[in-house]
Chains A and B, each alone.
Chain A
Amino acid sequence: MTPPLLVARDLTRRYGAVTALDALTVDVDAGITGLVGANGAGKSTFIKILLGLVEPTSGTAALAGHDVCTERDAIRALVGYMPEHDCLPPEMSAAEFVTFMARCSGLPANAARERAAEVLRHVGLFEERYRPMGGYSTGMGQRVKLAQALVHDPRLLILDEPTNGLDPAGRDDMLALIERTGREFGMSVLVSSHLLGELERIAERIVLIEAGRLVRAAPVGVLTGETGTLVVELDADAATLDAFVTGLASRGLAVRLDRQRVLVDIPDGADPAQVAHVHDAVRDAAVACEAGLLRLERRRGHLEDLFASAAA
């Protein structure tokens, strides 16, 4: 069996008194993985350790079975890095810059030029690529940054906040580009963001870190699956709604009123029969107060809830 793409064990990094990464242990398989955390949660530190730019204070990490501290040479060709910060010399053209980056990865001059032209076309930069990058828009700049990460044909792309500073349209384009890169080019992608919504759209897996610690690592499907809350909407006025809530509460259910919706808690670990029993209770209560039942469904989880539960 091939080792997981990324393995981190008790990864810790301290900057003086500040602990940026606190015993992070996580396994990540191939595919598109979202690395989520608030600003300062340790995402960038984690990425820099994987890239060998920062040494861990303790603990180990490995990419494709190669230790990030001791086997740097094996990792260099495997990884493409798109940094969070600006990294484009304004007086250079995109073509020259990406070619130079390819050469820094050891590609011969001609191959570097060809690859640069190819990846720049992939990210959607055509004639502009011969102009100095100082005149580029943020969106174009982000595309060049992605192109330079792709140019040496890595197996793993590490993208640090790729949608930073983009307008909504640019954000959509960038996410689509990343998704395409991951799905069609067969590359694994580790993409960090502080915005869950966008990662929900493209990632297969989410790794959530908070204050340098792992909160959760799971497939997006699991994280956004059904939750233990039943959402009920009624065609009723406020008085009827109150009566409905009182009626449900008298049947021994935990009920909350959320504006026009009624939220009913289903106990953790309830079996189908118990869930059906709750459904019946809701129906009976609605009948009892003569309110029309508009909607009755299990609420689906949002990744935002992860943050709420992490903070709690």
Chain B
Amino acid sequence: MSDPTATIHDLGYRRYEGPRDGARGAFDALVWQGIRTMFGIGRPFKAKSVPVFVIVVTMLPALATLTAASASGGQMPVPYGILIAPQLLLFVLYGAAQAPEMLSRDQQHRVLPLMLTRDVTRGQYASARLLAMFTAMFVVCLAPLLLLYIGEISIAKQPTAAFARMGGKIGPVLLHATMTAWVIAGVSAALASLTARRAYATAAVIGVFLVVAAITTGLNELAGLPDGVTALLDPIQALRTMALMLFGETTRGMELTPPPPLPLFLVVLVALGAAGAAGLVWRLRRVDL
């Protein structure tokens, strides 16, 4: 961009006769701006802190494991599920911190009514923001798994043979990242759209995930709820158990009481994310301007 600063001409007002992309263009702009906000791109350093922290911290264990596996000459197995399970809370932290950055801020600074007078309807706004939220979450959730996957293939003595052996593992990698992103994006977007106060929204997202975990654990231990049901009710535990099942790993607890079948997990998680998405749309249809 260049400004003719040598002389100041008042060119007068010029009409805009160019193309207008209407709702389509507005939707793209909303998604893009949303993704930028989710990663703090073009924002001060402070806005980048949580995204950078979560991405780095979740990828470090993957990197360490790969280094160890590489040192052992590819003999040490790379445990995807066991590595990703503890990162789930960090993904929740990311959603909790960044969803309000995008959704609560639009209400806090009252940009939402401004957008709605343009080529943006309430429904389009909700779906564009949800898409941005999901895309960003997907990238963050996929990063450590993809690092493990690419790393495991490239450190093998014969990468082509390794690829032939475990090429199909990309399926579970993508599926798990999709499910994690969908659930956390849906739930945190819905909660963030409820309030214009970012701190409340962040606390609400973390609170909901932790409280649900606490309640299901309590029910499991005190009311004797079967482990299988607990694993389904608590989204974090469901994602954890699903990761282990997807990557063919098991824990002692899972050996004692086999978890529910995988499709059931998928159904529950898809429904949970969809409930969040529906909540977001419902809320944004009603929010006062």
Q: Which residues of A contact B (CB under 8 A)?
A: 48, 51-54, 73, 76-77, 79, 81, 83, 85-91, 96, 100-101, 103-109, 111-113, 115, 117-118, 122, 132, 148, 152-153, 181, 184-185
A interface footprint on B17-31 (CB within 8 Å = 1, 0 otherwise): 011111111101110
- Is A105 in contact with B1, judged by CB distance below 8 angstroms? no
Alpha-carbon gap, A173 to B181, bound state (A): 50
Determine if A81 and B114 form an interchain contact, defined as CB atoms under 8 angstroms apart: yes
Q: Which residues of B have CB within 8 Å of A96?
A: 42
List residues of chain B with CB within 8 A of the CB of A81.
114, 117
Select B115's contact among A85, A86, A104, beta carbons within 8 Å: A104
- A83 and B15 contact, Cβ closer than 8 Å, known pairs A91-B47, A104-B30, A106-B25: no
Partner of B44 from the list A77, A91, A148, A152 (CB cut-off 8 Å) is A91
With A53-B116, A54-B289 known as contacts, the answer to whether A103 contacts B29 (CB < 8 A) is yes
Of B103-111, B240-248, B263-271, the segment with at least 4 beta carbons within 8 Å of chain A is B103-111
Bound complex: CA of A152 vs CA of B19, how far in Å? 11
Query: B13 contacts which of A52, A103, A185 (Cβ < 8 Å)?
Result: A185
Which residues of chain B come closer than 8 Å to A152, judged between CB atoms? 16, 20, 118
Is B165 an interface position by the 8 A CB rule? Answer: no
In the bound complex, do residue B109 and residue A87 qualify as a contact, i.e. CB atoms below 8 Å apart? Answer: yes
Indicate if the CB atoms of B113 and A53 lie closer than 8 Å: yes
Chain A residues with CB under 8 Å of B29's CB are 100, 103-104, 109, 112
Tell me whether A106 and B26 are in contact (CB under 8 A). yes
A-B contact pairs, 16 of them (CB 8 A): A86-B109, A87-B111, A96-B42, A101-B114, A101-B118, A103-B25, A103-B29, A107-B20, A108-B25, A111-B19, A112-B29, A122-B13, A132-B44, A152-B20, A181-B13, A184-B13
Contact B26 A103 (CB under 8 A): yes
A105 adjacent to B20 (CB under 8 Å)? yes
Within the assembled complex, what's the spacing in Å between the Cα atoms of A105 and B13? 19
Bound CA–CA A48/B116 (angstroms):
11
Say how far A308's CB is from chain B's closest CB, in angstroms.
34
Q: Give the tally of cross-chain contacts (CB within 8 A).
A: 101
A106 near B21 (CB under 8 angstroms)? yes
Is B14 positioned at the interface, with any CB of A under 8 Å from its CB? yes
Q: Does B168 make an interface contact (CB < 8 A)?
A: no
A120 to chain B, nearest CB (A): 11
B contact residues around A91 at 8 Å (CB): 43-44, 47
Q: Tell me if B18 and A89 are in contact (CB < 8 A).
A: no
Q: How far is the CA of A198 from the CA of B38 in the complex (A)?
A: 43
Q: Tell me whether B12 is interfacial, beta carbon within 8 Å.
A: yes
Taking a contact as CB atoms closer than 8 A, the residue among B11, B12, B16 that contacts A115 in the complex is: B16
Question: 3 shortest A-B CB distances, which residue pairs?
Answer: A103-B29, A153-B16, A185-B13
Instruction: Considering the complex, give the chain B residue whose CB is closest to the CB of A155.
Output: B15
How near does chain B come to A136, taking the closest CB pair, in angstroms? Answer: 13
Contacts of A153 on B, CB cut-off 8 Å? 15-16
B118 engages A105 (CB within 8 Å): yes
B117 with A51: CB separation less than 8 A: yes
Interface centre among A96, A103, A117 (most CB of B within 10 A): A103
How far, in whole Å, are A117 and B23 apart by their CA atoms in the complex?
23
A20 to chain B, nearest CB (A): 13
Bound complex: CA A76 to CA B121 (Å): 11
Cβ A117 vs Cβ B1 within 8 A: yes
Q: Mark B271-289, 1 if CB is under 8 A from A, else 0.
A: 0000000000000000001
- Does B12 lie within 8 Å of A184, measured CB to CB? yes
Contact residues in A for B33 (Cβ distance below 8 Å): 100, 103
Q: Are A87 and B21 in contact (CB under 8 A)?
A: no
> Taking the complex as formed, is B120 at the interface, i.e. its CB lies under 8 A from any CB of chain A?
yes
Instruction: Given contact pairs A76-B118, A107-B18, A107-B20, enumerate 4 new A-B contacts (beta carbons under 8 Å).
Output: A77-B119, A89-B111, A107-B16, A152-B16
Q: Tell me, rounded to whole Å, the shortest Cβ–Cβ distance linking A66 to chain B.
A: 14
Q: With A76-B118, A152-B118 in contact, is A83–B20 under 8 Å at CB?
A: no
Shortest distance from the beta carbon of B257 to any chain A beta carbon, whole Å = 49
CB closest residue in chain B, given A76: B119
